[in-house]
Structure 1
Amino acid sequence: MTSQEETLNVTRTVAEFAAGVAFEELPADVVERARLLALDGIACAFVGAKLPWAKKAVEAMSMVESGTGATLWGWGKSVSPSSAALLNGTFVQGFELDDFHAHGALHSSSVVVTAAMAAADIRPETTLGELLRAFVVGYEVGPRVGMAMGGGRLSTIGWHTGSVYGTAASAVAAGSVFGLDAANMESAIGNSVTRASGLMAAQYKSMVKRMHHGMAAQSGLVGAALASKGFAGTESVLEHPYGGLAAAILGDVDEADFSKLTDGLGENWILKTIGIKRYACLIMLHSTIDEMIAQRVQGLRDSDISRIRIGVAESVARRTSWKMEAPGKTLSAQMNLRFATAVALLDGAAYVEQFSQESLARPEVWDLMDRIDVYHDERIDALGRDRRFVTNIDIELTDGTTRTLVSTPPQDREFDAESVRVKFRGLVQGLIPDAKIDEIEQFILTASPDTPAAELSALLGTPSEPALSGLDS
């Protein structure tokens, strides 16, 4: 824990970093990582852009905001910058495919890239180098704020962590594009973080959970725009002992560990530990999915199974262990460990198709789910918060034997540039023309820093085809 005396000027330290770092000072591997993360987020956005909830959101926002000036990704149209941040963020998070940070507990691209791109649409002279700098500061600040606040700890009491922590990340990303100085950057953070929100009851039967990170992106853009005109935001909003973020969400500012936010800021790059999802569901489910797919490869089939027992950490149990009722909803399936375990073993995969309405209608999935138990295992808690995605799995077979497995958490599985390219192409193939796929990939990964960022905005406006049919929530 951090004493109150040690928390002085935490928000200002973050603001000085975000306002002061120059693109030319950024290490090459950090910039490369930001490019790859952005490419992944944009792929997710094209998948999400025409899903049913995305269409409804676009229609609804057109009722209340009629402005133009910013690109709505995948739609070939212009909307207000505020709507662009909200809606594009919703698209990125639209099908649970986007990045994760195991300890910072947010989906960074959905708040960082979307807020920065909307800001760049407002400021058309923005270069790619300035945009990449904005990506870097947002990718760095977001996970650090989450780590300082206990990461997934908030999810145990029902907060959607990413849409809480993401308000700081989006603010510094947009503020970087606007060229804010440290004082105004602190105001941007204050203006944005005061709107931190997101309640996880949304994961059961709603569409709004998919919009939470978009709301955080919008908050950051608006907060930075206000600050750019001298509208003063809350000072010390992260660490203020009364009504600051830590005090409000943790109950006491001393519960935060601000050293995880400020120590090594600008030197030890946390953004390099942001991961790329390999499955279309909540990151808490991935380690068990890995084990089920491996078991299928070894020949295990659902007919061999009497029962599966999965021991998980407290935070994972609260988020994933409830018993779904048929016919189920896509979003609920993407949050539910029983469902993910069943489809992974049946199909050897847990990607877009496994969470479709067609998959939810399969009797064999529900039959296997009835044989899966998920329980809180205190042995996982004892490993520490950083290992909370480990699972203990016992597979009881019909021949009377039991297979005991300990899963590897997803943050232990590294990704490289080629895996991101493969995922990008796999997701957008058939949604936009092949020539546009090539252009977007090449621009993000190789364009020079002095290239106008507006060229990327124009590419992202390419109209896309719907990714899936038959979805309702």
Structure 2
Amino acid sequence: MASKILADNAPDPNSVTTKLSEWVSNVTLDDIPENIKERAKYLILDGLGCALVGAHLPWSEEAVEAITKFETPGGTAPIIGWKGKKTGLISSAIINSSFIQGFELDDYHSYAPLHSNSIILPTLISLLSREPEKFTGKDLLLATIVGYEVGPRVGRSIGGSSILSVGWHSGAVFGPPVASASAAKLLNLNARQVEDAFGMACTQAAGLMSAQFESSVKRMQHGFAARNGLFAALMAESNYKGISKVFERKYGGYIPVFTLGGLKPKPEEIALGLGEIWRTEGVLVKIHACMGGIHSTCESVGNLLKDHDIKYQDIEKVTIELTEAPFHHGGWKAEAPIQVIGAQMNNAYIAATIFIDGSLEMKSFDESKLNRPEVWDLVSKIECKQNNFEGEVDPQFKLCTQITVELKNGEKFTNRVVNPKGVLVPFSKDDIVGKFRHLTNGIISTEEQERIIESVVNLENTSIEEFLKVLDLDVKSPFAV
């Protein structure tokens, strides 16, 4: 047994963990195509917009109060949207992540579901605050892109979206190595230290999807990933030893353990196309304030309302057909009363809301509109079914919804959406700037909006002191606007 353990721990140039660690350590900004660098800057802007929107939601304020109550006073790391308020590195990462995830408006990925910005940006902002004069905007951009690249590769290696079907919260499981990769890059760790960071990050990976029904902790689980990955990188910086070859290690390794539920292990995905295939291109920007797998439902209901004269009072029955992961994630039967988080995770509730209101807005989840009798009456008429649309839908995306509406007069209408807006044709940079302005309109001033946009769009020429300064502002709750 001893010789076997030593063999598993021996240097191996074919190890996917080693390959990824070496790439993280060695990649430079010059190695990255210009279009990827530009895309990343606008994705960062989207993440910051989501953080500002989430900073003073009720559950976000509860999180700040709770964490700062037991955290040692002081620290260098900012709490976004709370002018002058700082805390420790780890607490800041958790809190700011919970802001970005605060209203289900943040990015997701077509290749393996995770919310990259809610992991990467809080991790890096915490680290940058420690010694802002030591880093540049270029360092931030590079470390962010490293995270964007690592996340979907790790996620795909253990099943991608299929991991949702067995009950794991995918991004919380994929996230710790993402945070550790971005942090390790910013800290300029060597390949051995990066591998140690991966080893310590992956052993902390966890996240239960049952958090989606009523728990505020759903907003924070990507923050746990940020915390764990940041902690791992800081320990590796001090040469604390992590698990070697953690991704493929046969006994107790990340991929073997997380694919025990019947998922297909794909260790080759970890290092696939590094430096040639850019997974940053697959980071998708959300339109609607709900789980990404429900966006096809939002678009399909919108199409039905646009194409036909449908009054919600005339609906007899609605059937929503969903592919596997969206069905398991969002096809569950909702029961009254529902919490905001549950509403944002449920296809039937979201569909009913749009049929009644004509669109889905942040105000749709305000206390005055949540749990309306007319919404629940329509929810009772909606049935969600699984349909994988074999041979009809690109299996790479699996984002398809078909909705059939039957009216009381016997009329029947059907609409199918394969890959909603923002998937096959990603949001343009102008779209992202427009979303940022729309989300932050009224919660910060126009001047503050423009300073943030200017800082991020010109990130290579922005000092970290200036970057942190434009985020040090007070934000209003979007429910109060």
Taking structure 1 as the reference length, the TM-score comes to 0.94
Q: What does residue 115 of structure 1 align with?
A: 123
CA contact (8 A) 1:246 1:252 kept: no
Task: Give how far 1:211 is off.
Answer: 0.1
Q: 2:30 aligns with which of 24, 27, 32?
A: 24
Task: Give how far 1:384 is off.
Answer: 6.5
- Report which stretch shifted further, 309-318 or 223-232: 309-318
1:249-328 map, 5 Å = 249-251=258-260, 255-298=264-307, 299-328=309-338
1:170 maps to amino acid: A
1:225-236 map, 5 Å = 225-236=234-245
Matched residue SS, 2:479? coil
Matched residue SS, 1:357? coil
1:456 maps to amino acid: F
1:49-448 map, 5 Å = 49-66=55-72, 67-76=74-83, 77-124=85-132, 125-251=134-260, 255-298=264-307, 299-379=309-389, 383=393, 385-410=395-420, 411-447=423-459
Identity of aligned residues (%): 34
CA contact (8 A) 2:167 2:209 kept: yes
Q: What does residue 4 of structure 2 align with?
A: none
Q: 2:462 aligns with which of 420, 445, 451?
A: 451
CA contact (8 A) 2:300 2:402 kept: no
Task: Give how far 1:46 is off.
Answer: 0.7
Residues 344 and 406 of structure 1: CA distance in aligned 2, closer, same or farther (over 3 Å): same
Matched residue SS, 1:291? helix
Residues 253 and 174 of structure 1: CA distance in aligned 2, closer, same or farther (over 3 Å): farther
- What CA distance in whole angstroms lies between the structure 1 residues aligned with 2:371 and 2:418? 30
- CA deviation digits over 1:386-425, x for unaligned, max 9? 2422122221122313222221223224210111011101
Q: What does residue 40 of structure 2 align with?
A: 34
1:29 maps to amino acid: N
Task: Give how far 1:235 is off.
Answer: 1.1
CA contact (8 A) 2:78 2:92 kept: yes
- What CA distance in whole angstroms lies between the structure 2 residues aligned with 1:42 and 1:398? 46
Matched residue SS, 1:170? helix
- CA deviation digits over 1:160-201, x for unaligned, max 9? 000110111111111111111111111111111211111111
Q: What does residue 13 of structure 1 align with?
A: 19
2:433 maps to amino acid: R
Matched residue SS, 1:231? coil
Stretches of structure 2 that go unaligned for 5 or more consecutive residues are 1-7
Matched residue SS, 1:399? coil
2:35 maps to amino acid: D
- What CA distance in whole angstroms lies between the structure 1 residues aligned with 2:277 and 2:37? 14
Matched residue SS, 2:316? strand
- Report which stretch shifted further, 140-149 or 394-403: 394-403
- CA deviation digits over 1:214-251, x for unaligned, max 9? 11111111111111111111111111111111111112
Residues 294 and 405 of structure 1: CA distance in aligned 2, closer, same or farther (over 3 Å): closer
- What CA distance in whole angstroms lies between the structure 1 residues aligned with 2:397 and 2:31? 33
- Report which stretch shifted further, 120-129 or 250-259: 250-259
Task: Give how far 1:468 is off.
Answer: 2.0
- What CA distance in whole angstroms lies between the structure 2 residues aligned with 1:316 and 1:308? 17
- What CA distance in whole angstroms lies between the structure 2 residues aligned with 1:261 and 1:347? 44
2:92 maps to amino acid: A
CA contact (8 A) 1:7 1:258 kept: no
- What CA distance in whole angstroms lies between the structure 2 residues aligned with 1:309 and 1:273? 30
Stretches of structure 1 that go unaligned for 5 or more consecutive residues are none
Residues 413 and 400 of structure 1: CA distance in aligned 2, closer, same or farther (over 3 Å): farther
Task: Give how far 1:24 is off.
Answer: 2.3
- What CA distance in whole angstroms lies between the structure 2 residues aligned with 1:273 and 1:15? 22
Task: Give how far 1:446 is off.
Answer: 1.8
Taking structure 2 as the reference length, the TM-score comes to 0.92
CA RMSD of aligned residues (A): 2.1
Matched residue SS, 1:255? coil
- Report which stretch shifted further, 6-15 or 427-436: 6-15
Matched residue SS, 2:105? coil
1:407 maps to amino acid: V
- What CA distance in whole angstroms lies between the structure 1 residues aligned with 2:151 and 2:301? 32
2:466 maps to amino acid: E
